[in-house]
Amino acid sequence: MWRCRKKRSWRCCALTEVHGEPRSLYVHIPFCASKCFYCDFNSYVTPPAVRRAYVEQLNRELTLVRDEYFGVHNRPPLDTVFFGGGTPTMLDAAEWRLVAERIHELFELSSGAEWTVEANPGTAELNMLRQLCGLGVNRISFGVQTLSDMLLQAIGRQHTAADALRSLDTAARAGFTRVSLDVMLGLPDQTQADVADTLERAVDSGVRHVSAYSLKIEEHTPFAEWERRGWLQLPSEDAEADMYEWVRARLAQAGMRQYEISNFSAPGEEARHNLVYWRNEPYLAAGAGAHGYVAGRRYRNIRSLIGYGQRLSAGVRPLEEVVRVPATEAMEDTMMLGLRLAEGVSAGRFEARHGRTLGSVFGGIVDGLVQRGLLGVDGRRVWIPPAHYAVANEVFAEFVGALSDEGFPAVGS
Ligand SMILES: C[S@@+](CC[C@H](N)C(=O)[O-])C[C@H]1O[C@@H](n2cnc3c(N)ncnc32)[C@H](O)[C@@H]1O
Ligand code: SF4
């Protein structure tokens, strides 16, 4: 058990590093109706019986996770829950009831807790969405990607633009007030006009949160192979940068603040679960291939459904790997993740977490980046000015391995 037995606290794993208690839970549902051509997320196309067996294993894992970190008699509080995929909306009503009831039995959802479910347009019918609301889900995130039918087909999606718009409407009718949608930029043959049309219609739908992701060509996907063969007409870097600028301007005009490099929301509509990741805070995770971060250790579950199920049938957690994050690396992570946020990295939060001031650890790097105009500082926080989001990777690169390279004494390792 990683929680300190003697002190019964979460503080003992490093001398000065403070690990808060995890109050967030990620649950992975690794099923899809088909595989999109660009996607390397851990998801499988399976018969329904596999899903039912998975939900049973998942419930076992959730119990083991609660028992290990909090003890069998406790019902720890959660502030955020996120069901991602894959396609969580491929679970049927009975499966949803099973897993949601287990979560309520094991954990106490704090008042105002955020519970998000990722959904594919076209797989979210009114009855199912009503059921999700009844089970405590209060935020839904649709993978719309684009509202061009031609592009949807070209990236291997099953839904049409009409399905996507209908799903947004269905979610509202089911009672969801917090609806988000994902769009993708830089798709093969995508033009600025396609992006403009998608955003225009998204804004018209009244949605109050948008995630805009640049297409990443992932190894071992059809897109990776097609790119190697020269079959994909990808927009140029400049064209893609223009799409991104256009999205930023249009969503700002619609009253959505860019609170993270790829995320925009109306005030108060930020994804609280994702803020936990960007602030480098701890979280629990369950499901095949899921990653968690507890008491200074990152863990990764077995990806394959068979391996995952076998471990749980034997009554053990399906861990593939557990690594302790050295204190120096945790500080680098705090910078790289936090600088994705418009709020940047708070100096106070950095010191409270790592037991060192941000200036004493990263002063040299920060000063260099400020001189190049790539960072802003005001004594309380450090941030990337939005005009430089397009080159944010250059900024992150300065922090990768920075402490070990400089021979910085590893704190508490
Ligand atoms: C893990 S997917 C799950 C959501 C849901 N299954 C869907 O696709 O509708 C979450 C989001 O990641 C984004 N995504 C997935 N693969 C990507 C890639 N290779 N490049 C950029 N964005 C990607 C898509 O926008 C997708 O909506
Ligand atoms: S539906 Fe989502 S998770 Fe499934 S293959 Fe497509 S992008 Fe990946």
The yes-or-no verdict on residue 3 having pLDDT over 80 is no
| Cα–Cα dist 317/326, whole Å | 23
Residue 408 confidence class, pLDDT cut points 50, 70, 90? low
Ligand 1 pocket mutation, candidates 31, 32, 41, 145, criterion most atoms within 8 A of CB: 41
Residue 2 confidence class, pLDDT cut points 50, 70, 90? very low
Ligand 2 pocket mutation, candidates 34, 41, 215, 220, criterion most atoms within 8 A of CB: 41
Q: Which ligand is nearest to the CA of 38?
A: 1
| Cα–Cα dist 139/206, whole Å | 15
Residue 293 confidence class, pLDDT cut points 50, 70, 90? very high
Over residues 218-229, the mean pLDDT reads: 98
Ranges in the chain annotated CATH 3.20.20.70 = 24-278
Instruction: Give me the amino acid identity at 277.
Output: Y
Taking CB atoms and a 6 Å cutoff, what residues make up the pocket around ligand 2? 32, 35-36, 39, 41, 43, 85-87, 120, 143
What pairing do the DSSP bridges indicate for beta strands 345-346 and 381-383?
antiparallel
Residue 379 confidence class, pLDDT cut points 50, 70, 90? confident
Structure-token pair, residue 290: 């899921």
The yes-or-no verdict on residue 386 having pLDDT over 60 is yes
pTM (2 d.p.): 0.94
Residue 295 confidence class, pLDDT cut points 50, 70, 90? very high
User: How much of the chain exceeds pLDDT 90, in percent?
Assistant: 90
Architecture of domain 24-278: Alpha-Beta Barrel (3.20)
The atom number, within ligand 2, closest to the CA of 35 reads 5
For residue 304, what pLDDT is reported?
A: 98
> How many C-beta atoms surround the C-beta of residue 49 within 10 A?
8
The yes-or-no verdict on residue 15 having pLDDT over 80 is no
SS3 110: strand
**Contact call for residues 338 and 344 (beta carbons, < 8 A):** yes
What pairing do the DSSP bridges indicate for beta strands 77-85 and 24-29?
parallel
What pairing do the DSSP bridges indicate for beta strands 24-29 and 284-286?
parallel
Taking CB atoms and a 6 Å cutoff, what residues make up the pocket around ligand 1? 38-39, 41, 84-85, 87, 118, 120, 143, 145, 182, 184, 213, 215-216, 218
Over residues 241-265, the mean pLDDT reads: 97
Over residues 202-217, the mean pLDDT reads: 97
Residue 340 C-alpha to ligand 1 middle, in angstroms?
18
The atom number, within ligand 1, closest to the CA of 41 reads 1
